[in-house]
Structure 1
Amino acid sequence: MASCSRKKKSESDSFLADVRDHIDEFIHASMDEHKSCFQKTIQKMFGMSKVVAERAERASETKEIESSLPLRTTVSQ
């Protein structure tokens, strides 16, 4: 199992047992698995940052729309 796509093996495992298992998988993973995981992580990070940037760009485009309210004046005598 690649440590990058790791899932908890058993819901009944304690937190420490899960951490121990994760560390064991990490230590025994091959260099190719570490390299692949690192590349996937970087791609996800850049993919997420690209999505966030696109959302921010769309939000800034909508902020440029101007709205105006009619001015009401009252004259009292």
Structure 2
Amino acid sequence: MSSEKSSNEKLPLTSCRKKKKDDATFLEDVRDHIDEFIHASMEEHKNCFQKTVKKMFGMSKVVAERSSETKEVESSLPLRTTLAD
């Protein structure tokens, strides 16, 4: 199992979708996508799902790191109240 885990970590985090033609119409592209999905093995579905989840968590980690790097300064003004006699 550890060898399977290490081999999955080395996979590039790209889309599982393989475009057959760059100049395909929308319907041709959808048809190819559905055909590819239906005929994929369970192992291909599993690998694609794992890559997608890793990509999502990797993106959220990058966003969290960016937000922690930009430390905003919060300023406050003293509250002044005046009472009219």
TM-score by length of 2: 0.64
Structure 2 partner of 1:28: 39
Q: Which has the higher helix share?
A: 1
Structure 1 partner of 2:56: 45
Q: Percent identity?
A: 66
Largest Rg, 1 or 2:
1
Structure 1 unpaired stretches of 5+:
67-77
- Note the 1:1-77 alignment, pairs <5 A: 4-59=15-70, 61=71, 63-64=72-73
TM-score by length of 1: 0.70
Structure 2 unpaired stretches of 5+:
1-14, 76-85
Q: Aligned partners of 2:36 and 2:18: how far apart in 1?
A: 11
What letter matches 1:53 in structure 2? Answer: A
| Number of corresponding residues | 61
Instruction: Give the deviation of 1:65 after TM superposition.
Output: 8.3
Q: Aligned partners of 1:36 and 1:46: how far apart in 2?
A: 16
What letter matches 1:41 in structure 2? Answer: T
